[in-house]
C-alpha cells in the first residue's frame, strides 16, 4: 500500500512541475496551469500545496538567481523527487487500471 | 506610466509570512503584478486579493527571528528544561503542584470575595461627596438614624449641603396589591432628590420629578414585571399596604434592578411624604426615626461641615452638645461600619483584612514548599549548575531559569485552581453569599495572572538566588556543602509553616467553642418553638382577631406581637427622665411596644411586680423594665415609681430579668416595654413541641384567611438568633477551609522533605544499621532534623494564636474562657500528623534489608 493518496489538485501541481522541468517556480506553475487547463489558481492556494508536497517529500526546492522583474527577489525552483515521480506513476497506473476495468460498452456509450 | 507594486499590502505580507518563503513568494507576487499591468488588469487590487488569500495556515508563520532574539531562545530553553526537571523529580513536582493549587484556590477565591466587598456602594457618581448623617450617642453606641426634622434644620444653616434626602428609619416589609393580587416587597422611602443623589438609573420616568407627589412610587424593573408583566407602567395605580396603612399610590417611574454591589436593596421607593404624614409627631430630635443622606457641594470638606454641625447643635440643642450628629462618607460606611465615640474603628473592613491575611498565609505556605524542596534538592542540581556555569551561563540566566521553573509550575497550578474554582463556586456561594461571581473580565484575568505569576516569583526567588550562587569550581570538584545558615533558613521556613497551621487549628477550635457557647448560653428567654412573622396585611383592626383565633388552635400556647424585629433591630429613645436622674446625662434605651402575653411567651422571668395583664385597667400607661434599667434608675424598689418618656409618665409595674436580644457582642442594654395592642410589626406564636407540622399547617390556613394572597413566611426564633452571627459563621467556615489546606500543604511539604532526606541518607542509614544501630536510633537520626523547627513552631504558634484569639474574643461581651487543652489539642494534632506522614517512610528504611540500600550499582 502507498503511504498516502494524492489529491486531485496535488496531482495536477506535481504534473505541472514535471512539465516545466527546471523552470518550475511559483508564478510559472500558475501561468502554466492557466494556459493548459484554463484554471486560475491563487498564489495562496498554490503555495500551500507546494509547501505540503514539499513536506511530504514529493518535491524539493532551492532558490535561484535574482531577477529585476521580480523586484530583486529570487525564485524558488521546485523539482520532483524520486518519491514524487513514483507516486505520480502509481496514480497513473491506478487510473489506467480503473479505466481498463470498465466494461467496453459503457466506454463506447460514454464516447457517444 | 510605470506603476510600482503597492507598499502596504507587501509590508503586511512580509509581516505574516513564514520566514523561509517570504522572498520567493514576494517575487512571485511582484512578477504577477507586472504581468497584469501589461495585460491592463487591475493589478493593485488583484495583488491585494492575492495577499489576502495568502493569509492562511501554512503560509502564516510568526517565527521570531531566533538568531537575533536571545531572550526568546533562552525562554524556550528554560521552559524545556523546567518541564524535564518536573518529569525527573515527580514527587517534589506533585507536592509543589498540589500545594500551589490549594494556596492559589484559596487566594483566588478570596480575591473574588474582597473584590466584591471593595466595590460595594462605590458606583454612585460623585461618591466622595455623598454622606450619611449619623448620631454619636456616646461610647460604642452610634445610631444610624437621625431625626428628619433636625436634618432639615441643618440644610437651612449649612450652605455646603447641596442636596438632602430623608428616609424612613429603615426599609419596610410591606406589600403592593394590584387588583386582587398581593405581592410581598421590601420598600424604601425617599424624599424628592433620592434619584438625583444616588445613581440608581431610571428605566422610565424623569429623575428630577418622580418623587414630587406624596403618592408617587417607583418600582424596580423586576417588580414591575412581577406586578404588571411589563416595565413601562408609569401612571398605573397600586395599593400600598404596610402594617395598618393602606394607600393608593401611583407609579411614577421604574428603575433598573439594583446592582449586587449596592448595600441597599429594595423593591420600591415611596415618597418620603407618605412616611412623614404618618409619623409626623414622632420625628423630632429625641426620636431618631429617619435616615438622612446628604450630598455636599463640590470642594466641601466633611470635617469642616462636621464642625459646623457641631457648632449649630451647641447653640440650638445645648443638651446634645457633647455628642452631636456627624457626617460620614456613604461609600466608606459599608466597610467601616463600627464606630466608637464618633470615630470609625473598622467593622467589615477587618473581615476583609482577615480574609486577605488568611489567603496570603495559605499561599505563602505553599510557596515555602517550593522553596524548601528546591533548595533541599540543591546538591542534586549542583552539578547541573556547575556545568552550566563553566559553559558560560551567567548568574542572571540561571536565576531566570529557576524563576521560569517556578512561574511555570505556578501557572499550571493556577489553571487547575481556576478550574476547581468553577466547580466549587456553587458551594462557595452557599457558604459566603450569592453575590460572588466568576465572570471573566480583563480586570479579573489580569488580577488572576498577577497573583499567579507573583506566586511563582515569590516561590522561585529564594531558590533562584541560592542555587545560582554556587561556585562552579567547588561543585565540580565535589565539595558541595550547604552551609548551616541555609539549613537554618530552611528550618525557619518549616517552622513558619507549622506555626501558621497551628494558629489556624487553634482558631478553628476556639471559634467553634465560642459559637457553641453562644448557641447554648441561656439568653434569659426561651426561644424554642416560637415562630415569628411579619404582620404585613394584618392591620390594627384584624390583628387582635387573628391573635384571638390563633390562641384557640390546640397547638398554640401563646400568641402575641411586638413592635419590631426581636433581633438586631436598634430602637432607642433618649429623652427619658425619672426622679433622681442626673440631667446632664444622656442615656439611650432599647424599647418596644408589646402586646399582652409577649413576655410570658418568651418566658422572660419576672423579678419584681408583674407582667402586663388584662386584669388591670389602663395598662397603656404602665411600663415593664429589665434589671439593667432597674440598676440604672437606682430605685430600691422601682415598682410604683414613674418613668417619664417624652411627655408622658408611665408607672413601673414590673422588673424582668436581663435577656439578650442583641448579639452577644453587646452588653445588655437598659430596656423597657410598653403595652400597645395594635402596634405590632412582628407576631409570634409559641407552639407545642408535639404535632409541630400539623400546627404550622393550621396557622398557615388561619394566616391565609386573614391575609389573602400572602404566603405565610415565618421563621423560628432560635434560627433568627443564629442569623445574628452570619459573620462568625463565615469566618468559621473560611478558617476551617484554610486550616485544612494549610495543614495539608505543610504536611505535604514535610512529606516531600522527609522522603528526600531519606533518599539522600539511605546509604548512611544502611551503614548505621549494619554497624548495629537499633531501629530507635535510626528513627531518631532521621527525625532529629525536624524536631527543632517543630518545637520552635509550637512555641511561636501558641504565643501568636493566644494573642490573636484573645483579640477576637474581646469582640464579644460574653466569651468563653481559653483553656490549655485547646492549644494542647492543636499541638498534638500537628505532631501526630507529622509523625503519620514521616513514619511510613522511616519504617520503610528500618524494615528493608540494609544491603538493598548499599548495593546500588
∠ at Cα B353 (B347, B358), nearest 5°? 135
* pLDDT given for residue B285 in this prediction: 46
Contact B28 A42 (CB under 8 A): no
Could you tell me which residues come within 8 angstroms of residue B826 by beta carbon, excluding any fewer than 6 positions away?
Answer: B502, B505, B506, B509, B797, B801
On the 0-12 / 13-18 / 19+ scale of CB atoms within 10 A, B596 is: buried
Work out the average pLDDT over B390-407. 86
- The pLDDT score that the predictor gives to residue B412 is 92
Residue A81 lies in a domain: yes
Q: Is B53 on the interface with A (CB under 8 A)?
A: yes
Give the pLDDT score at B565: 62
Place B410 in a pLDDT band, splitting at 50, 70 and 90: very high
Best A55, A60, A70, A74 member to test B by mutation, with max B CBs in 10 Å, is A70
C-beta separation of B182 from B709 below 8 A = yes
Residue B699, C-alpha cell as written in the block: 396557622
Residue with cell 501568636: B800
| Residue B25: pLDDT over 50 | yes
Q: Binning pLDDT at 50, 70 and 90, where does residue B292 land?
A: confident
> B59 and chain A: CB distance < 8 Å anywhere?
yes
Measured CA to CA, the distance from residue B619 to residue B615 in angstroms comes to 9
pLDDT at B573: 59
What is the spatial distance between Cα B110 and Cα B436, in angstroms, rounded to a whole number? 10
Instruction: Give Cα separations from B373 to B742, B753, B755 (angstroms).
Output: 17, 6, 10
Residues above pLDDT 70, as percent of chain B:
91
Residues of B in contact with A45 (CB under 8 A): 53
| CB contact at 8 A, B270 and B99 | no
Question: Which chain B positions have a beta carbon within 8 Å of A43's beta carbon?
Answer: 25, 28-29, 32, 50, 53-54
> What band does A1 get if pLDDT is binned at 50, 70 and 90?
very low
Q: Considering only CB atoms, which residues of chain A are within 8 Å of chain B?
A: 25-27, 30-31, 42-45, 47-48, 51-52, 63, 67, 69-71, 73-76
Tell me the C-alpha distance between B657 and B626, whole Å. 6
Distance in Å, alpha carbon of A16 to nearest chain B alpha carbon: 17
CA distances from B457 to B40, B107, B401 (A): 62, 16, 12
- Nearest Cβ partner of B54 from A31, A47, A52? A47
- Whether B585 has its CB under 8 Å from any CB of chain A: the answer is no
Rounded Cα–Cα distance for residues B220 and B207 (Å): 14
Out of B57-66, B447-456, B765-774, which region has the weakest mean confidence (pLDDT)? Answer: B57-66
Mean pLDDT of B569-598: 73
Q: Is B26 on the interface with A (CB under 8 A)?
A: yes
pLDDT value, residue B416 = 94
Judge: B30–A45 Cβ closer than 8 Å, yes or no. Answer: no
Residue B538 has pLDDT above 70, yes or no: no
Cα–Cα distance, B553 to B560 (Å, whole number): 14
* CB-based contact B402:B463 (threshold 8 Å): yes
Contact flag B50-A74 (C-beta cutoff 8 Å): no
Which three cell numbers, joined as nine digits, stand for B609? 411586680
Q: What is the pLDDT of residue B838?
A: 80
Count helices and strands in chain B by DSSP H and E runs: 27, 26
Please tell me if residue B54 touches chain A, with a CB cutoff of 8 Å.
Answer: yes
Q: Which domain holds residue A43?
A: 8-111
Q: Is B56 on the interface with A (CB under 8 A)?
A: yes
Q: Do the bridges between strand B589-594 and strand B671-675 make them parallel or antiparallel, or are there none, so unpaired?
A: parallel
Q: What is the pLDDT of residue B776?
A: 85
Q: Residue A29: closest CA among chain B residues belongs to which residue?
A: B28
B347: left (phi over 0), alpha (psi -120 to 50) or beta: left
How many C-alpha atoms does B329 have within 13 Å on its Cβ side?
17
* B815: its cell numbers: 466569651
CA of B427: how far to CAs of B20, B165, B424, in Å? 54, 39, 5
pLDDT bucket at B286, cuts 50 / 70 / 90: low
Task: For residue B502, give the H/E element and its range.
Answer: helix B484-520
Tell me, yes or no, if B19 comes closer than 8 A to chain A by beta carbon. no
User: A60 in a domain, yes or no?
Assistant: yes
Q: Select the residue from A76, A77, A78 to test the B interface by mutation, using most B Cβ atoms within 10 A.
A: A76
Q: Residue B306 has what pLDDT?
A: 85
- CB contacts of B29 in chain A (<8 Å) are 43
Nearest CA-CA distance, residue B54 and chain A, Å: 4
- The whole-angstrom distance between A66's CA and the closest CA on chain B is 9
Contact B444/A at CB under 8 A: no
**Contacts with B35 from chain A: Cβ below 8 Å:** 31
Residue A1 located in a structural domain: no
Q: Summarize pLDDT for B243-269 with one digit per residue, the tens.
A: 667 888 989 989 999 888 888 889 999
* Beta-carbon separation of B53 and A44 below 8 A: yes
* pLDDT surpasses 90 at B554: no
A93: CATH: 1.10.10.10
Alpha-carbon torsion, ordered B332, B338, B340, B341, to 10 deg: 50
* B53:A43 CB<8 A: yes
Would you say residue B204 has pLDDT above 50?
A: yes
Q: How far is A104 from chain B (nearest CA, A)?
A: 44
Nearest by CB to B24, which of A25, A48, A69? A25
CA distance B264 to B333: 12
User: DSSP letter at B320?
Assistant: G
In a domain, A91, yes or no: yes
Q: Which residue has the cell 561556585?
A: B471
Q: Percent of chain B, pLDDT > 90?
A: 5
Residue A51 to residue B54, Cβ atoms within 8 A: no
Residue B742: pLDDT above 80?
A: yes
Mean pLDDT of B573-579: 71
- Count of CA atoms in the C-beta half-sphere (13 A) of B513: 18
| Cell numbers for B589 | 434605651
Contact A75 B27 (CB under 8 A): yes
User: Is residue A3 a part of any domain in this protein?
Assistant: no
Please answer yes or no on whether B23 and A43 come within 8 Å at the CB atom.
no
Is residue B271 within 8 A of residue B189, CB to CB? The reply is yes
B5 touches chain A (CB under 8 A): yes
All three cell numbers of B77, joined, read 530553553
Q: Does residue B29 belong to the interface with chain A, where contact is any CB pair within 8 Å?
A: yes
- Name the residue among A31, A48, A74 with its Cβ closest to that of B23: A74
Instruction: Taking residues B512-541, report their average pLDDT.
Output: 77
Do B25 and B51 touch, CB atoms closer than 8 A?
A: no
Residues in contact with B429: Cβ distance below 8 Å, sequence separation at least 6, in sequence order: B436
Sign of the Cα pseudo-torsion (B482, B483, B487, B493, in order)? negative
DSSP labels for B558-613? EEEEESS-SSS---EE--EE-TT--TT----EEEEEE-TTHHHHHT--EEEE----
Q: Which of B857, B809, B776, B89 is nearest to B518 (CA)?
A: B809
* Cα–Cα dist B700/B714, whole Å: 10
The pLDDT-based confidence of B413 (bands split at 50, 70, 90) is very high
pLDDT at B67 over 70: no
Rounded CA separation B318/B247 (Å): 40
C-alpha cell at B583: 440631667
* Predicted pLDDT at B418: 92
Look at B44 and B62; give whichever has higher pLDDT: B44
Q: What is the pLDDT of residues B141-155, one digit of tens each?
A: 566 677 777 788 888
Count of domains for chain A:
1
Q: What is the DSSP letter of B60?
A: B
pLDDT tens digits, B327-373: 888 888 888 877 776 677 777 788 888 888 888 988 998 888 888 88
| Interchain contact B28–A (C-beta under 8 A) | yes
Amino acid at each position: 500500500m502507498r503511504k498516502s493518496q494524492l489529491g486531485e489538485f496535488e496531482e495536477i501541481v506535481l504534473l505541472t512541475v514535471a512539465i516545466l522541468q527546471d523552470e518550475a517556480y511559483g508564478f510559472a506553475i500558475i501561468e502554466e496551469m492557466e494556459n493548459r487547463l484554463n484554471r486560475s489558481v491563487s498564489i495562496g492556494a498554490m503555495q500551500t500545496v507546494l509547501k505540503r508536497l514539499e513536506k511530504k517529500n514529493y518535491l524539493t526546492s532551492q532558490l535561484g538567481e535574482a531577477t529585476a522583474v521580480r523586484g530583486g527577489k529570487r525564485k524558488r525552483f521546485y523539482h520532483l523527487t524520486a518519491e514524487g515521480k513514483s507516486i505520480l506513476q502509481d496514480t497513473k497506473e491506478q487510473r489506467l487500471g480503473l479505466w481498463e476495468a470498465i466494461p467496453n460498452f459503457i466506454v463506447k456509450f460514454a464516447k457517444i | 506610466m510605470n506603476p510600482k507594486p503597492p507598499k502596504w499590502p507587501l509590508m503586511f505580507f512580509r509581516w505574516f509570512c513564514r520566514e523561509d518563503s517570504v522572498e520567493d513568494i514576494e517575487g512571485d507576487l511582484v512578477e504577477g503584478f507586472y504581468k497584469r499591468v501589461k495585460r491592463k488588469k487591475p493589478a493593485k487590487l488583484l495583488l491585494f486579493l492575492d495577499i489576502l488569500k495568502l493569509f492562511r495556515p501554512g503560509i502564516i508563520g510568526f517565527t521570531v527571528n531566533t538568531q537575533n532574539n536571545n531572550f526568546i531562545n533562552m525562554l524556550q530553553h528554560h521552559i524545556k528544561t523546567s518541564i524535564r526537571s518536573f518529569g525527573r523529580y515527580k514527587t517534589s513536582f506533585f507536592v509543589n503542584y498540589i500545594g500551589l493549587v490549594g494556596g492559589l484556590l484559596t487566594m483566588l477565591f478570596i480575591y473574588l470575595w474582597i473584590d466584591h466587598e471593595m466595590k460595594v456602594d462605590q458606583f454612585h457618581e460623585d461618591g466622595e461627596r455623598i454622606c450619611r448623617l449619623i448620631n454619636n450617642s456616646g461610647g460604642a453606641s452610634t445610631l444610624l438614624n437621625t431625626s428628619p426634622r433636625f436634618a432639615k434644620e441643618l440644610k437651612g444653616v449649612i450652605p455646603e449641603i447641596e442636596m438632602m434626602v430623608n428616609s424612613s428609619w429603615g426599609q419596610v416589609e410591606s406589600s403592593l396589591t394590584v387588583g386582587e393580587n398581593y405581592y410581598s416587597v421590601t420598600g424604601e422611602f425617599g424624599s424628592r432628590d433620592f434619584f438625583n443623589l444616588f445613581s440608581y438609573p431610571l428605566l422610565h420616568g424623569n429623575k428630577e420629578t418622580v418623587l414630587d407627589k406624596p403618592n408617587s412610587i417607583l418600582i424596580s424593573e423586576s417588580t414591575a414585571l412581577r406586578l404588571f408583566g411589563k416595565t413601562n407602567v408609569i401612571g398605573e395605580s397600586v395599593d400600598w399596604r404596610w402594617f395598618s396603612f393602606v394607600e393608593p399610590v401611583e407609579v411614577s417611574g421604574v428603575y433598573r434592578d439594583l446592582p449586587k454591589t449596592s448595600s441597599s436593596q429594595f423593591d420600591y421607593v415611596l415618597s418620603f411624604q407618605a412616611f412623614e404624614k404618618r409619623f409626623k409627631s414622632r420625628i423630632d430630635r429625641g426620636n431618631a426615626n429617619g435616615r438622612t443622606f446628604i450630598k455636599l457641594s463640590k470642594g466641601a470638606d466633611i470635617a469642616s461641615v462636621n464642625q459646623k454641625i457641631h457648632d449649630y447643635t451647641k447653640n440650638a440643642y445645648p443638651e446634645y452638645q457633647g455628642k452631636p450628629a456627624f457626617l460620614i462618607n456613604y461609600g466608606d460606611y459599608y466597610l467601616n461600619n463600627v464606630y466608637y465615640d464618633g470615630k470609625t474603628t473598622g467593622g467589615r473592613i477587618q473581615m476583609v483584612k482577615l480574609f486577605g491575611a488568611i489567603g496570603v498565609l495559605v499561599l505563602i505556605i505553599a510557596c515555602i514548599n517550593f522553596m524548601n524542596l528546591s533548595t533541599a534538592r540543591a546538591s542534586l542540581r549542583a552539578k547541573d549548575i556547575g556545568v552550566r556555569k563553566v559553559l558560560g551561563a551567567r548568574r542572571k540566566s540561571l536565576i531566570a531559569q529557576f524563576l521560569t521553573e517556578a512561574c511555570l509550575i505556578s501557572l499550571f497550578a493556577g489553571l487547575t485552581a481556576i478550574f476547581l474554582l468553577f466547580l466549587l463556586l456553587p458551594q462557595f456561594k452557599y457558604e459566603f453569599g450569592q453575590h460572588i461571581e466568576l465572570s471573566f473580565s480583563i480586570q479579573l484575568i489580569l488580577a488572576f495572572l498577577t497573583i499567579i505569576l507573583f506566586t511563582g516569583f515569590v516561590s522561585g526567588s529564594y531558590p533562584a538566588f541560592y542555587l545560582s550562587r554556587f561556585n562552579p569550581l567547588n561543585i565540580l570538584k565535589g565539595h558541595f556543602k550547604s552551609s548551616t545558615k541555609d539549613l537554618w533558613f530552611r528550618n525557619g521556613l518549616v517552622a513558619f509553616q507549622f506555626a501558621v497551621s497551628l494558629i489556624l487549628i487553634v482558631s478553628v477550635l476556639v471559634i467553634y467553642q465560642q459559637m457553641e457557647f453562644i448557641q447554648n448560653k441561656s439568653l434569659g428567654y426561651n426561644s424554642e418553638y416560637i415562630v415569628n412573622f411579619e404582620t404585613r396585611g394584618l392591620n390594627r383592626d384584624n390583628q387582635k382577631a387573628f391573635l384571638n383565633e390563633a390562641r384557640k388552635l390546640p397547638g398554640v400556647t401563646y400568641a402575641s406581637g411586638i413592635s419590631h424585629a426581636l433581633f438586631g433591630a436598634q430602637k432607642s429613645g433618649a429623652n427619658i427622665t425619672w426622679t433622681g436622674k442626673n440631667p446632664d446625662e444622656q442615656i439611650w434605651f432599647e424599647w418596644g411596644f408589646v402586646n399582652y402575653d409577649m413576655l410570658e411567651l418568651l418566658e422572660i422571668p419576672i423579678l419584681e411586680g408583674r407582667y402586663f395583664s388584662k386584669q388591670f385597667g389602663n395598662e397603656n400607661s404602665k411600663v415593664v423594665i429589665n434589671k439593667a434599667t432597674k440598676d440604672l434608675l437606682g430605685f430600691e424598689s422601682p415598682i410604683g415609681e414613674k418613668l417619664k418618656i417624652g411627655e408622658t409618665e408611665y408607672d413601673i409595674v414590673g422588673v424582668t430579668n436581663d435577656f439578650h436580644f442583641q448579639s452577644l457582642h453587646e452588653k445588655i442594654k437598659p430596656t423597657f416595654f410598653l403595652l400597645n395592642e395594635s402596634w405590632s410589626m412582628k407576631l409570634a406564636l409559641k407552639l407545642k413541641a408535639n404535632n409541630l407540622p400539623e400546627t404550622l399547617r393550621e396557622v398557615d390556613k388561619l394566616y391565609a384567611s386573614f391575609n389573602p394572597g400572602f404566603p405565610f413566611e415565618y421563621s423560628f426564633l432560635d434560627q433568627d438568633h443564629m442569623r445574628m452571627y452570619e459573620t462568625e459563621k463565615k469566618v468559621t467556615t473560611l478558617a476551617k477551609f484554610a486550616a485544612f489546606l494549610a495543614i495539608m500543604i505543610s504536611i505535604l511539604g514535610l512529606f516531600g522533605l522527609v522522603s528526600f532526606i531519606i533518599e539522600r541518607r539511605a546509604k548512611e542509614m544502611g551503614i548505621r544499621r549494619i554497624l548495629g544501630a537499633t531501629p530507635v536510633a535510626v528513627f531518631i537520626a532521621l527525625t532529629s532534623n525536624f524536631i527543632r523547627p517543630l518545637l520552635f513552631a509550637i512555641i511561636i504558634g501558641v504565643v501568636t494564636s493566644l494573642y490573636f484569639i484573645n483579640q477576637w474574643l474581646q469582640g464579644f461581651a460574653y466569651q468563653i474562657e481559653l483553656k490549655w487543652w485547646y492549644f494542647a489539642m492543636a499541638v498534638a494534632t500537628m505532631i501526630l500528623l507529622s509523625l503519620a506522614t514521616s513514619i511510613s517512610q522511616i519504617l520503610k528504611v528500618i524494615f528493608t534489608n540494609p544491603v538493598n540500600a548499599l548495593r546500588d550499582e
